[in-house]
Structures are given as C-alpha cells and as structure tokens.
Homo-oligomer: A and B are copies of this chain.
Amino acid sequence: MAEGAPALRRDRPRLPAAARRRQIIDVATSLIAERGFWGVSMQDIADRCGLTVPGLLRHMESKVGLLIAVLQDRDVQDARSLRTHLGTSEAELPDDWGSGLPGGVDLRQLCAATMQRNATQPEIVRLFTVLAAESLEPTHPAHDYFAKRQRFAATAYAALAEKFTDRPELLARQIMAMMDGLQIHWLRDPEATDLVQEWETAAEVLFARFTTPR
C-alpha cells in the first residue's frame, strides 16, 4: 500500500510552461464557448488540463486574467489569418488591429472569406457569440473588449463600403448584423444549413443595388 511518491495527477507528465499555457488557453476557449464565462469554473478548466486549481493559477493570475488571455490569443490568431489571406506587406494589423484595414481589399470578398473561415471553426464563433451577449453588461470583464471590437469593425467595414454607396455606415451595419444573425442560427442547428451558402445568398441581396446584373 505504501505508494512512495505522491505522484502527479493522473498519468500526465509535467509540461513546459509555454506548452501548458497553450493547452490552458485552448481548453478555456472551448469551455467558455460552451457555457459562457460565468458558467465555467477554474475547477472545470483545471480538470480538463489534468491539473489542480493552484496548478492552473501558476500559469494564469486569475480567472479574469485567463479570459483576457483567451481573447488576446484570438486576436493574434485572427491577425495572422488575415495577414495570410490579404498578403503580408500591406496589412499591418498588430495585436490591437491597428487603425483599419488596407484600402485595396474588396468588402464582399473579405466577408465571404470571413464566413468561410468561420464555418470551419464553430467553437470560436460560439465563443464570440456567447461572450458578445454576456458582455453587454458594463461590469463584465470583456465588456470593453467587445465595445472596442464592434467599433473597430463598424469603422473598417464602412471604409470599405465607400466604393459601393454614399451611406457606407448603413451597408456596413447591415452586413455585420446579417453575419452575426446567420451565425447564431447556424450554431443552434449546424446540420440544418450551410453557413457559407446562406451568406452567399444574403450577400447577393445586400449588394444587389451595387452590382450590374449580367
């Protein structure tokens, strides 16, 4: 009966700090997407990492700190993906998204690319959908993040919409609303519809005024 060493939780070996941090962010992303920030406990996250809560807290200074880390990580990933899609040189896009999108981009193509990417990562879409609603409350730790994000997106889209219409903010807002709306319906029943196809049909309507019928 005398087990010598106290041994690590389960059979999981120590991980280098960087790898552990990566794992924690991935697990937290997944769980927060499922249940929202208030619906997840540090215990839940620690369990899925094969850690105790204090073990988890050596890598993240608090629960709120963990949420911030998750959101920052998403920005880094998104910026990387955008850079790849648009070509590195002209798109600066640092971690806070810089001041806008490059002017040479076509709005309709950008939207289509975004929806195509989103269709491949429902978990991330869900993370943002759930947190966007939860963080409407001004005291929510992600409130400012989402306020800023929405302001940025509205401005950037409107700038790109200028070559379509003289009311670019209006088109920008309709586009964002339609994208968000289609996404939440898709999340509720992913089998029922094809997000990309659904967007394509909607885009035809939204952009119809601005394209020459063939």
Contact = CB atoms under 8 A, between A and B. Distances in A.
Interface in A21-62: 34-36, 38-39
Contact of A36 (B134, B150, B208): B134
B132 A39 contact: no
Contacts of A187: 136
Interface stretch (A6-14, A79-87, A100-108, A197-205): A197-205
A64 interface: no
A147 interface: yes
Given A38-B36, A177-B178, A134 B137 contact: no
Contacts of A206: 205
Interface in A60-89: none
Range, interface on chain A: 35 or more
Interface stretch (A91-99, A109-117, A168-176): A168-176
Contact of A150 (B178, B185, B208): B185
Contacts of A137: 34-35, 39
B180 A184 contact: yes
A185 B173 contact: yes
Contacts of A39: 36, 38, 134, 137
A74 to B, nearest CB: 17
Nearest to A133: B133
A126 B170 CA distance: 23
A208 B174 CA distance: 15
A129 interface: yes
Interface of A: 34-36, 38-39, 126, 129-130, 132-134, 136-137, 140, 146-147, 150, 170, 173-174, 176-182, 184-185, 187-189, 193, 198, 201-202, 205-206, 208-209
10 contacts: A36-B36, A36-B133, A39-B137, A132-B133, A133-B184, A146-B188, A174-B201, A177-B182, A177-B185, A208-B208
